[in-house]
Amino acid sequence: MTAVMDRVLDAKGLKCPLPVIKTRLALNKMAVGEVVTVLATDPASKIDIHHLCNITGNELVDASEEDGVLTYVIRRTEAE
């Protein structure tokens, strides 16, 4: 997966609901078309980040996990 990274949000070590709250705040500051890569270690983020993208209309471009770090690539597609 190759994506242009406009921002990286390091939410490693944060527990629910902080990773999704920080992701939403970052998305709110971004222009449509920009991409944020979110790094998290909280297993609940698997559900929360997918749900955030579904309810906000933003595109979850990629989601992966390596060595306990969950990586989400999200493209801002909606102006809230």
- Among positive and negative, which fits the CA dihedral 2, 48, 39, 57? positive
Give every strand in the sheet of 59-66, ordered side by side: 7-11, 35-40, 69-75, 59-66
Is 16 designated active site?
yes
Instruction: Write down the catalytic residue from 6, 7, 14, 16.
Output: 16
Q: Which residues are catalytic?
A: 16
